[in-house]
Amino acid sequence: MTYDTIVKGGTVATAADTFRADIGIRDGKIAAIGLDLGEAAEIVDATGLLVLPGGIDSHVHISQPSGDGVTMADDFESATRSAAFGGMTTLLPFCLQRKGQSLRDAVTWYHGLAEGECYTDIAFHLIVTDPTPQALNQDLPALVEDGYTSVKVFMTYEGMKLTDRQILETLEAAKSCGALPMVHAENDDAIEYLRDRAMDRGDTAPKFHATTRPIPAEREATHRAISLAQIVDVPIMIVHVSNGDAISEIEAGRARGGTVHAETCPQYLVLTADDLDTTGFDGAKYVCSPPPRDTAEQAACWSGIERGVFDVFSSDHCPFRYDDSEGKKHPQGLKSFKWVPNGIPGVETSHPILFSEGVTKGRIGLNRFVALTSTNHAKMYGLYPRKGTIAVGSDADLTLWDPEREETIRQEILHHGADYTPYEGIRVKGWPVRTILRGRTVVADGELRAEKGVGAYQPRARSGEALTG
Ligand code: URP
Ligand code: ZN
Ligand code: ZN
């Protein structure tokens, strides 16, 4: 046989082009793109379907330690399973360094959890919470050399946030070894101040999570993060941008000559702070940071997507079960929004939401969708052109989409470990119907077709090499 598999009859789309072609796969790689490719052991009929590069989500949290008595709803098996059903072939979760822990130990710990468990390929970002000289000057450069080429810092969250001085030192270390810094930008002092006032008033319901993390707190921190990066003269990625003011800061930073990358997420396109404002505790299902804003800010984020401000679209999947004392209903969380575990599930629904709201509704073209959900992640994070495109020699990571298929997002059709979806009831048109990882079908016709362990760890090149290479 000439090929192991031919994906036949579909419409192929990359970040650049849309065209009719069949794809020949051999040994997990794309071996040919064309028509009349000949014979293969397996023919996948893609008639009427779109054939896109496998989806990539570069912002997911899996099995991340989340505080006393709190457990994340997904391990590597369930998160990658859910992602595969959502049309993804590669995830980039974080290795969170705990205070006192070495970065290397954090990485080793996550590898232990992921090994043999995954349905998608994975690569890891680092999170620095304890920027010791050892972490910044020894571990970080060695880990970057080994393929962990991006590092996130928090400007908020007790126990994880860095001071401006520590951020500068981390940015400098990242610059020296070519790691891409990612920043969670919210002003923690402002949030704490507002939170204390809210608590004093007895305002403890989930909706006060949103009111105590207002747009100016994100805007100011975005400005500060970009300024700190300018001082060090290093590129920066602002993750999970939620509003128009933060977008303006990013555009202003770029206008000053800074290399400022940006990411937004589905929660800022289809959820609002009103979702947190329910009677009872239901609003906890939407507690994430930054919080969803309002419809005007949704429009601002859409405008940012349409104008090309955002490089990548990620889920920020950070799942906790709702009806669970180790999740949203943690005994402390029930007392106040302040202790409700931060984060929402969304890896499986992220790309269908962007496809439906973006492509089907005519806000963005198919090629932009591919860039935002695959190609740009691969380029940004050093996986391109192995991942993120359909080209001869690239990994045969493909997602077949039925652009006509309509679904209503419901918890019962999803495959994550959470017991709810914040996107319940949202109607979408356009759905991933087959996910192929390095030539192997992982999901088809709503069923798992591969064993866990089919997904493997992928070391990465430096971002700059991928962006220019
Ligand atoms: O609420 C969120 N986003 N939780 C995940 C951690 C983070 O800030 O990315
Ligand atoms: Zn964050
Ligand atoms: Zn996150």
pLDDT at 464: 72
Residue identifier of the C-alpha nearest atom 8 of ligand 1: 289
Nearest residue to 42 (alpha-carbon basis) of 13, 1, 75, 100: 1
pLDDT at 1: 76
Nearest residue to 338 (alpha-carbon basis) of 124, 105, 158: 158
Which ligand has its closest atom nearest to the C-alpha of 60? 3
Does residue 316 have its Cβ closer than 6 Å to ligand 1? yes
> Own/partner pairs for 441-449, CB < 8 Å, 24+ apart?
441/44, 442/84, 442/89, 442/119, 442/120, 443/84, 443/85, 443/119, 446/85, 448/81, 448/84, 448/119
- Ligand 1 closest atom vs CA 343: 1
Q: What is the pLDDT of residues 219-228, one digit of tens each?
A: 999 999 999 9
Does pLDDT of 469 surpass 70?
Answer: no
- State in Å: Cα 342 to ligand 3 middle: 9
Return residues with CB closer than 5 A to ligand 2 (ion).
184
Which ligand has its closest atom nearest to the C-alpha of 183? 2
Q: Domain coordinates of the chain in residue numbers?
A: 54-363
Does pLDDT of 108 surpass 70?
Answer: yes
pLDDT at 14: 98
Question: What percentage of residues in the chain have a pLDDT greater than 90?
Answer: 98
Contact present, 453 and 370 (Cβ < 8 Å): no
What residues have CB less than 8 Å from 277, skipping those under 6 apart? Answer: 207, 210, 283
- State in Å: Cα 390 to ligand 2 middle: 31
Average pLDDT, the chain: 97
- State in Å: Cα 37 to ligand 1 middle: 46
Rounded to an integer, the average pLDDT of 349-375 is 98
- Residue 463's pLDDT band (cuts 50, 70, 90): confident
Does residue 343 have its Cβ closer than 6 Å to ligand 1? yes
- Ligand 1 closest atom vs CA 288: 1
Tokens coding 277: 């404002």
- Residue 279's pLDDT band (cuts 50, 70, 90): confident
pLDDT at 305: 98
| CB hemisphere CA count around 280 (13 angstroms) | 6
Residue identifier of the C-alpha nearest atom 2 of ligand 1: 343
Tokens coding 242: 């939620």
d(CA 283, CA 207) in angstroms, rounded, equals 6
Pocket residue to mutate for ligand 1, from 70, 239, 288, most atoms within 8 A of Cβ: 288
Does pLDDT of 146 surpass 90?
Answer: yes
Q: What is the pLDDT of residues 380-413, one digit of tens each?
A: 999 999 999 999 999 999 999 999 999 999 999 9
Rounded to an integer, the average pLDDT of 203-208 is 98
- From 3.30.1490.100, 3.40.50.261, 3.20.20.120, 3.20.20.140, which CATH number describes the 54-363 domain? 3.20.20.140
